[in-house]
Amino acid sequence: MTTGTPLLAESIVGDSGPTVVFCHGLFGRGRNFGAIAGALQPDYRCVLLDMPNHGSSPWTDDFDYETAASMLVDHLRAGVAADGPVHLVGHSMGGKICMTAALMAPDLVDHLVVVDIAPTSSEATTEFVHLMDVMLSLDLDSAHTRRDVDAQMAAEVPQSGLRGFLLQNLRHEGDHFAWQPNLAMLRRDIDAVIGEIPFLGREFEGRTLWVAGSESGYVTPEATHVMRGSFPHVRKVVIKGSGHWVHSEKPREFTAVLRAFLDA
């Protein structure tokens, strides 16, 4: 059950061309795809969404992919996809939401792009569980600046870039900081977040691009037959030298692959 309006927070880059809707992963924001959206200008209208339980979008009481995808479908049908299907791009958790939405409402989706995630349960999740536990353990009430929170996090998360990604989720709540995502619920329901998507007995007949990072463990050979079973027109591309966050680690290569697929 949602708390508040079912529509998602969005920002739009560009005002012409086919519409491309971007859906981020766990702890992300729609603006994480801002550089990619800029690189697609002026040929595409890009819609950057905050996923449920993230950014300025509504929270839910529990996490499951059917609910999250239903919120995405409702948002698309009432807005940018009201006049016809859109291209849908999703990374990680957002990729699973997009796959589920495409199986639920294929009439809304033209091309589907899934970035470094499989429709099956994800085993390479130890890092995310660790990060959630670290975030929940921080003493935000004693922090006066983001630098204070960063300093608390540094011992457990030594990578400054990763800390910066996580710290984008801080917001002011009165005179102290709080996490903007529905962090406690997402940690409680982490098995659902990393689990397989529903509706794998259905097929999405549209063209699908499956992008993987060569250094990431989220797209496994074992998942290929499952992916092809529900997305029979899938093409897999591996971007060399990239980990899980392909669009931020290799933006030029990712944009080139994405543009070639959308232009075809």
Are residues 10 and 53 both part of a single domain? yes
The answer, yes or no, to whether the previous bond of 198 is cis (omega within 30 of 0) is no
**H-helix or E-strand spanning residue 191:** helix 190-193
Mark which of 188, 208, 228 sits at the end of a domain: 188
Structure confidence by residue, pLDDT tens digits, 163-184: 999 999 999 888 889 999 999 9
> Residue 211: helix, strand or coil by DSSP?
strand
Q: Looking at residue 218, which CATH number applies to its domain?
A: 3.40.50.1820
Per residue, what are the HEC states of 236-261? EEEECCCCCCHHHHCHHHHHHHHHHH
Are residues 171 and 203 both part of a single domain? no
Mark which of 159, 188, 217 sits at the end of a domain: 188
Residue 210 half-sphere exposure toward CB, CA atoms < 13 A: 23
Contact of 186 with 193, CB cutoff 8 Å: yes
How many domains in the chain? Answer: 2
Are residues 58 and 107 both part of a single domain? yes
pLDDT of 3: 38
pLDDT tens over the chain, length 264 residues:
333 445 899 999 999 999 999 999 999 999 999 999 999 999 999 999 999 999 999 999 999 999 999 999 999 999 999 999 999 999 999 999 999 999 999 999 999 999 999 999 987 667 788 999 999 999 999 999 999 999 999 999 999 989 999 999 999 888 889 999 999 999 999 999 999 999 999 999 999 999 999 999 899 999 999 999 999 999 999 999 999 999 999 999 999 999 999 998
227 dihedral zone (left: phi>0; alpha: psi -120 to 50; beta): alpha
Are residues 117 and 18 both part of a single domain? yes
Mark which of 167, 188, 209 sits at the end of a domain: 188
Are residues 134 and 166 both part of a single domain? yes
Strands 170-173 vs 109-115: parallel, antiparallel or unpaired: unpaired
Are residues 180 and 86 both part of a single domain? no
Looking at residue 234, the DSSP 8-state letter turns out to be E
Are residues 204 and 250 both part of a single domain? yes
Are residues 152 and 56 both part of a single domain? no
Q: What whole-number distance in Å separates Cα of residue 102 and Cα of residue 193?
A: 18
pLDDT of 6: 52
Are residues 106 and 160 both part of a single domain? no
Are residues 63 and 110 both part of a single domain? yes
pLDDT of 159: 92
pLDDT of 125: 66
Longest dimension (CA), the chain: 53
Q: What whole-number distance in Å separates Cα of residue 24 and Cα of residue 98?
A: 10
Q: Tell me which residue range forms the domain holding 28.
A: 2-122+194-263
Are residues 184 and 210 both part of a single domain? no
Are residues 20 and 116 both part of a single domain? yes
Structure confidence by residue, pLDDT tens digits, 145-156: 999 999 999 999
pLDDT of 126: 73
Q: What whole-number distance in Å separates Cα of residue 117 and Cα of residue 231?
A: 14
